[in-house]
Chain A
Amino acid sequence: MTVFDQIRALASDLFAISPDKLSVSSSPETVDAWDSVQHLNLVLAVEEKFHLQLSPEEIEQMKTIGDIVKIVEGKLQTAPS
């Protein structure tokens, strides 16, 4: 599973919508269930799933699914293991 697939699966569980309704450009503007509470839930689920900590600056930049994928991929590459 790619990072995108995994993040899409998390978002799909959280927002209770089918994964094929989510794309890299999905955002709180395009997904009804994606409110501030669900945004926090998504951040926490991503941190748990990929065993990483996101900084407030990174969380600030996460406007779309694609943004989240990019940031997570960047952190996974620099991570020691």
Chain B
Amino acid sequence: MSEQLINIEELKQDSLNFNKGTFEGEALVRKSLERLKAGRSILIDKDNNIIAGNKTAEAAGQLGLKVRVIETDGTELIAVKRTDLDIDSKEGREMALADNRTAQVNLSWDEPNLEAAALECGIDPSMWGVDFDTNEPTAESKGEIDVGTFDTDQTLTIKLTSLQYEAVINKLKETNPDLQVALLTILGYYA
């Protein structure tokens, strides 16, 4: 398989990108590239359309980076080896952190684009764990659920008085010592 160096302008942004990105995420991607330089690759198709990494390419373009293209048919894994990095160093650990964190903060699903792709290409977002129900009010809008600042879609917070709290804990523990499992069991999740 061949390898070539091209200008980043030769890559094409995805006009139907499923990810709108976020303001905070954009800033983190830029910070990561400026401070730690390029990490994992992006993914492009046979015509240089960006499949994954549109936001990374945008930020890299602003910093004037060139692009090294590695052709493959997907039967092997590609590993970008940073010969200047040691994982057991501040830079190595920050790179590991930045990879996870930028992906987390910079994701904002574009529902219309997903729906359009589902119609055009017959893909099913729910098969990839992505579900939307725009008619349902969000948890935050209810006022009763305080969504955690870290795992925004995973932390359920319920306000209780001290007496209620103790009663709830005792009831849940009667079902299972793991409170998460207990609530899921009571609600019929495992049925």
Q: Do A and B come together as binding partners?
A: no
